[in-house]
Amino acid sequence: MNRQASPRVLLSLLLAFSACSDSGPGPGGDAGAREGGGGDGISPSTGFSVSVTAVDFGKLGCGSPAAAAKAIELGNGGKAPITWSAKLVPPAPFVLSDPAKGTLAPAAKATLSVTPPAIPATASAGAALQATLVITSDDPANASISIPVTLTPTGGMVELSPTPAVFGLVPVGAQAEDVVVTLTNRGNESIAVSFAQPADAQFSVAWTGSPAQAQLAPGASLPGLVARFKPTQAQLSTTSAKLTVSGTTCGAVPSGLALSGRGTKGILGIQPGALDFGKVNCGASASAKTVTLSNAGSAAIAYQTALKAGASSPFAVAPPTGSIPPGGKATLTVTPAAIPATALTGADQMGDLLTITTDVAGGTPQTVTLHQTAQGARIVASATSLAFGAVPVAQTKSSPFVLVNEGNLPATLTLATAAPFSVAPAAAQAVAPGGKLTANVVFSPSTTDPATGNLSITGKAGEVHCAPLPGPVVLAGGGTKGSLAISATSLDFGDVACGSQAAPQSFDLLNAGTSGFKWTATLGKGASSWFALGSAGGTVDPGVVASVSVTPKAIPAASAVGGTPYADTVTITTDIPGDTPQTVQLAMSALGAVLVFSATTPIDLGKVPAGSTAAAAITIQNTGNAEAAVTLAVTGGPVFSLEDVGPFPLEPTNTETVNVVYEPVAVGALSATISLSVPPTTPL
């Protein structure tokens, strides 16, 4: 019997490609400087002008559409170009035309416009809408110009109290004591008012001259206004008297006067059911009011009183206990304490509830609501200090500062400071309840010495406040002789194929100050950086722009993919006093395929009888970040073959599996090599 030996075969793996690992730095570039600005090269002389010192849109009725815009003309009467910019503080509700910056050649002019907003019907009459137009320029004599912008809503404002008018417990058929009602025009324009009689005939309203409509000037009240109640049934009754207002109004207008009273067939009467002490200035006291207890029976009625807030109540009741004679009356006097100098101004926060208990058989305790509200302005500041940092000499830096009136009376406020600080508006400003004053505080250093100051806040004599005014705001800053501005905070060189080099990029250094400064540039990774700087430093004169070029080194053919190894930072440091180093981030990523075989040692197919076949699977994985078109080949004799030689695309993170087949025809040890190739254009 003829037998053949089984040959032993070794299959070698040849990787015919390069994998995308760290490499050293490559070549660098250069840098240059170019002049900025224009004209004849001299510093701008005094010549920047603005056509107005204030923009006042006057008075506009609440609910009116926006008025026409107002134009502002800027001019250059100097000998050199002037660069300017403008902004509104706060940026709303007025609108500034765009563009709000530019450069004026000598003798040239430019026009800005400010557009006012529509006035909502809910606006507060007399509470001016305010802003400050801040225009800055490189004219040293007019570095910062502040222009107040105002618009005043107009109309009547209706304040009605008490509402509801509560009559308390009244015997059926008896005429209740009148409840005095106050209707005041708190606005800044006259209005005409009248009430319709309630649908429930138990109630009525009257005023001097009723039922004719009454004209109310700003601050005036409807004279003789009272509500009346004569119950015809023993139950709680409620209704309202419709209010009609003619003329322009601001804010919410009450629909009418609510009325409430309870008729009783019992012997006890308590009138009224509520006492309204109104709004009382902080630090002041309201006048005492009375509650009348009546007894229609034939025996005395004993009573006692209690205040819900107890010893903490802002009221005192006298007498706290007593007796109502048969067929007679007793009077309770409710005396409010003085409103504290510092108090909250929310509605009824200084009120309470009076409970009256009697010995009437089957009677229930009755309550009288005590209404009282502290009245005054409460001013809150947005900050206790403003730090301007380093500002170039003869240049300016501004910061908004806001005062909010959280009280219920207007306040007239004046802000003041001293050089090198200034504030706009500097004139007294009225701040309505719920309104705010937004000011622009400016620092204009004339030296490099540290500067400190205070922004004072003062009120108007005679106005009422329910909290102390904020203390002086601390101001601080320092002057510098140069001003560095960098044109970019980052440069991104993108994805670069392994073995390739990205194009250089650059960023600019601008000196917006009044004297030159020296600068240096350093790479965060030093000599290990994948970038080179065209220049490591220099001097930048006022108005000059220096360009710094950054040249990336070539990504090695054998390199790790991704961006982490290649990121770096350029730090720019100057000799400007107080200057903080600034940085520019550099980003670059290696792009390529990384192909990995499943076996790192030769594949041993073992002993295979002649005429038989054996196979082994190999895998090729792409661990890179670019696609590869892979082609396989086997060399070493016809007895070796591959089930698939490609080319086949291999996406990042994907794996391809291929079988190697061995078909021996004779006895003996054989070997072969598998080679892998990719097109030259594939980034590796």
> Is the CB of residue 222 less than 8 Å from the CB of residue 183?
yes
Q: What is the mean pLDDT of residues 522-547?
A: 91
Distance between CA 82 and CA 76 in Å, rounded? Answer: 7
| The pLDDT of residue 593 | 82
pLDDT in tens, 238-286: 999 999 999 999 999 999 999 999 999 999 999 999 999 999 999 999 9
Distance between CA 674 and CA 641 in Å, rounded? Answer: 10
pLDDT in tens, 34-93: 333 333 333 334 589 999 999 999 999 999 999 999 999 999 998 889 999 999 988 889
Over pLDDT 90: what percentage of the chain?
61
| The pLDDT of residue 22 | 38
Q: Are β-strands 144-154 and 179-180 bridged in parallel, bridged antiparallel, or unpaired?
A: unpaired
Instruction: Please indicate whether residue 152 or residue 35 has the higher confidence score (pLDDT).
Output: 152
> What integer best gives the mean pLDDT of the chain?
87
Q: Is the peptide bond before 470 cis (omega within 30 degrees of 0)?
A: no
Instruction: Please indicate whether residue 266 or residue 564 has the higher confidence score (pLDDT).
Output: 266
- Backbone CA torsion sign across 355, 357, 363, 364: positive
Look at residue 631 and tell me whether its pLDDT is greater than 90.
no
Look at residue 462 and tell me whether its pLDDT is greater than 90.
yes
| The pLDDT of residue 626 | 81
Look at residue 535 and tell me whether its pLDDT is greater than 80.
yes
Q: What is the mean pLDDT of residues 417-434?
A: 91
Residue 6: pLDDT band by 50, 70, 90 thresholds?
A: very low
| The pLDDT of residue 39 | 32
* Segment of 77-91, 325-339, 527-541 carrying the highest mean pLDDT: 325-339
Instruction: Please indicate whether residue 183 or residue 17 has the higher confidence score (pLDDT).
Output: 183
What's the distance, CA 544 to chain centroid?
36
Instruction: Please indicate whether residue 416 or residue 651 has the higher confidence score (pLDDT).
Output: 416
Residue 16: pLDDT band by 50, 70, 90 thresholds?
A: very low
| The pLDDT of residue 36 | 31
- In this prediction the pTM is 0.61
Look at residue 21 and tell me whether its pLDDT is greater than 50.
no
Residues forming beta bridges with residue 335, ordered by sequence position: 316
DSSP 63: T
Instruction: Please indicate whether residue 450 or residue 395 has the higher confidence score (pLDDT).
Output: 450
| The pLDDT of residue 620 | 87
Look at residue 627 and tell me whether its pLDDT is greater than 90.
no
Instruction: Please indicate whether residue 36 or residue 616 has the higher confidence score (pLDDT).
Output: 616
Q: What is the mean pLDDT of residues 358-386?
A: 95
Distance between CA 435 and CA 152 in Å, rounded? Answer: 13
For 48: left if phi > 0, alpha if psi spans -120 to 50, otherwise beta; the answer is beta
Look at residue 17 and tell me whether its pLDDT is greater than 80.
no
Instruction: Please indicate whether residue 598 or residue 633 has the higher confidence score (pLDDT).
Output: 633
| The pLDDT of residue 594 | 83
Cα–Cα nearest to 502, from 589, 422, 415, 571:
589
CA angle 175, 279, 205 (to 5 degrees): 25
* Segment of 24-28, 126-130, 624-628 carrying the highest mean pLDDT: 126-130
Instruction: Please indicate whether residue 88 or residue 674 has the higher confidence score (pLDDT).
Output: 88
Instruction: Please indicate whether residue 480 or residue 313 has the higher confidence score (pLDDT).
Output: 313
Instruction: Please indicate whether residue 23 or residue 214 has the higher confidence score (pLDDT).
Output: 214
